[in-house]
Chain A
Amino acid sequence: MPKKSFREAVNEALRQEMERDPTVILMGEDVAGGMGAPGEDDAWGGPLGVTKGLMPRFGRERVLDTPISESAFVGAAVGAAATGLRPVAELMFVDFMGVCFDQIFNQAAKFRYMFGGKATTPLVVRTMYGAGFRAASQHSQCLYNIFTHIPGLKVAIPSNAYEAKGLLIQAIRDDDPVMFFEHKAMYDEEAEVPDEPYTIPFGEANVAREGEDVTVVALGRMVNFANEAADRLEGEGISCTVVDLRTTSPLDRETVLETAEETGRVVVVDEAHPRCSMAADIAALIAQEAFDALRAPVRMVTAPHAPVPFSPALEDLYIPGPDRIVEAVREVHGYGRG
């Protein structure tokens, strides 16, 4: 099977859905690039080249370079979705979503409910998240937990290129607004990705590996780190189950609880700040629904409650990495064993 990068997987998903369905359009800042300026068309393909090649193929009518105004073009995308198109808007950095709160939370998320099920909003907002890119505190946050909080939104956070293509096609075909999170440090990571279109259903976590001692629940880039930690722990005789949530809304409670109960020892890994995070959410779920099975307190591995630092040395320390996961697993594994 061909190996493709995360970037290529996202590009291929967009291309194949645009070929299949003429109502799929792209909108965003420099998703093609060069609009209204002399020189190269398709100069950018988005800030990291993810949508490169789509404008020459589908034209400027379907690949729209927008003004630098998230409130305007995300609002336009919400309206287009409500009136028959399937727009995929690119919110360059999720950190910028503050200026389009109303469009996403109050409008897109609420239409189906407010109109008694008579309106659908098949919108996808693709956005970059995560630290490790030396882009400082206003371009490095996660924030997926904020969208997960809002009923009416779906939230997908793929952990590799295979997952990205299948989840994005699913997102585009979904009739509800979907927030689609791409980690900016993962675009060059490769995985085996089928050439054909395929979908990964929402709300079904992936048990990425099965072990007996400790359950590690992770999402997005943290799944890679959890697997790396699990590889290392294998050498110490500690075997881990790694659960990739895939989507935080809907959430696969069944798989989380089942795998937590199997080992009774759980570590939740989340790149976001700890307060009101997915880690806190999952830990609470397990404490409430699987208390009897627990043999140790649930441990959260997260970033600190602090802005993402600009100093590279500090940023590296800020990101929850495999070392900290290994440490947490050891602690949970040893708990109560004397």
Chain B
Amino acid sequence: MSAAIEAVVMPKWGLAMQEGMLAAWLVEEGETIAKGQEIAEIETSKIANVFESPAAGLLRRRVAAAGETLPVGALLAVLAPESVSEAEIDRFVADFRERFAAALASGATEAAPEPRTVEAGGRRIRYLEVGAGEGPPVVFVHGFGGDLSSWTLNQEALAAAHRTLALDLPGHGGSDKALATGSLEELAAAVAAFLEALAIPRAHLVGHSLGGAVAMRLALDRPAAVASLTLVAPAGFGAEIESGYLEGFLREKRARKLRPVLEMLVRDPAGISREMVEEVLRYKRLDGVPEALSRIVEACFAGGRQRIDLRPRIGELPMPVQLLWGREDRILPVRHAEGLPETVTVTILEDCGHLAHMEKAAECNAAIARILTRA
């Protein structure tokens, strides 16, 4: 009978995730759940998110309690038909735990890949490379104030079949912090230098927000180097930007004050984890970071308006181009995705804010996978 019992385990959302905190159950024991149904809320060091059931069945037991922090792969719940006895479920849980404990003890869980650095264009650029595959690699470019870990929910999914690289823009993450002007051109040139330093003649670019504008600037400057372009809520498609976000991000030095600012990024404020707030604070304390961020704001978003305008030129791009945008984006309004040439595929994501690649990671990953096959 035990073949009919299924384990629901702590998911692995992204490269860095080693453990997750079960914040809340959304289903009760005795409910029949569908595959893809939202069954729990899970918090990681990066983001809190809803967990969609990987399987369908009758929820017989919630093994993990709300508030528990468990390693990836640990047992959360048991699905089984009514015919399975409680005793059988007890045995299944005990067996599973024993095997899992043994696997943990033997170190069978793999270590997260480590970022590396490369000298590019006179700067030290940090990047994380994962996966291998035929054809041009996928290169991820984060947004203002972000870093390569912004893509933690996307990189691994795509690395299953592709070589993927996520870099830290100058002024960000573990890359050198100095910026001459903070202009889009300077940032795009830095990404171009990075690709040259790693001898990557052609890549699929995926950029978020300011990183979307950087990727598009690079695609305009060097169309032959860009195989496809995925822009997630990119800058450069309208004048409006939530200036309160930029100002607050620069100004706030305490977690309690910074949190409401970061909450503007997502539709569900609970999605901003304590660790994420702490990481941003730690980043902002690094030497050179306040200056770099101020320069970028001055060059690209002075006076609370976008000073970069890429919209008129999107039709010139010869490679496949798509835009992904959260319907409820509070930083860059979703209407910036309207009125574009038909050659550009636009996907609007419902119930989603500015961090579409995190909030709707599965949809974004599927869209990126699709454009890779078109190029």
Contacts and interface: CB of A to CB of B under 8 A. Distances in A.
Contacts of B174: 196
A199 B287 contact: yes
A42 B287 CA distance: 30
Interface stretch (A24-32, A150-158, A200-208, A315-323): A200-208
Interface string B235-255: 000000000000000000111
Contact of A194 (B253, B254, B256, B282): B282
Interface in B251-302: 253-256, 274, 282, 285-287
A77 B251 CA distance: 36
B253 A198 contact: no
A194 B282 CA distance: 9
Contact of B254 (A162, A166, A204): A204
Interface residues on A, range: 10 to 19
A145 interface: no
Q: Is the interface of B mostly helix, strand, loop or mixed?
A: mixed
Interface string A146-170: 0000000000000000100010000
Contacts of A206: 255
B282 A207 contact: no
B255 A207 contact: yes
A198 B279 CA distance: 13
A255 interface: yes
A198 B286 contact: yes
A210 B177 CA distance: 32
A223 B177 CA distance: 32
A198 B287 contact: yes
Nearest to A252: B254
B255 A197 contact: no
Contacts of B286: 194, 196-198
B255 A200 contact: no
A215 to B, nearest CB: 13
Contacts of B254: 204, 207, 255
Contacts of B255: 206-207
B256 A199 contact: no
A210 B255 CA distance: 11
Interface residues on B, range: 10 to 19
Nearest to A194: B286
A167 to B, nearest CB: 11
A200 B285 contact: yes
Contacts of A200: 285
Interface in B164-186: 174, 177
A78 B144 CA distance: 43
B282 A198 contact: yes
Contacts of A207: 254-256
Interface in A166-211: 166, 194, 196-201, 204, 206-207, 210
Contacts of B177: 196
Contact of B285 (A198, A210, A255, A258): A198
A267 to B, nearest CB: 20
B253 A199 contact: no
Contacts of A197: 286-287
Nearest to B177: A196
A112 to B, nearest CB: 25
Nearest to A20: B287
Most buried by B among A198, A207, A210, A255: A198
A255 B256 CA distance: 10
A204 B282 contact: no
Contact of B287 (A162, A196, A201, A210): A196
A146 B286 CA distance: 32
Contacts of B287: 196-199
Interface string B19-41: 00000000000000000000000
Contacts of B256: 207, 258
B285 A204 contact: no
Contacts of B285: 166, 198-200
Nearest to A170: B285
B270 to A, nearest CB: 14
B165 to A, nearest CB: 20
A196 B274 CA distance: 23
Contacts of A201: 253
Contacts of A198: 282, 285-287
Interface in A64-82: none
Contacts of B282: 162, 194, 198
B156 to A, nearest CB: 19
A166 B289 CA distance: 14
Nearest to B274: A210
A249 to B, nearest CB: 19
Nearest to B279: A1
A176 to B, nearest CB: 20
Top 7 closest pairs, chain A to chain B, by CB:
A198-B285, A197-B287, A198-B286, A196-B286, A199-B285, A166-B285, A207-B255
17 contacts: A162-B282, A194-B282, A194-B286, A196-B286, A196-B287, A197-B286, A198-B282, A198-B285, A198-B287, A199-B285, A200-B285, A201-B253, A204-B254, A207-B255, A207-B256, A255-B254, A258-B256
Given A194-B286, A204-B253, A207-B254, 12 more contacts: A166-B285, A196-B174, A196-B286, A198-B282, A198-B286, A198-B287, A199-B287, A201-B253, A204-B254, A206-B255, A207-B255, A210-B274
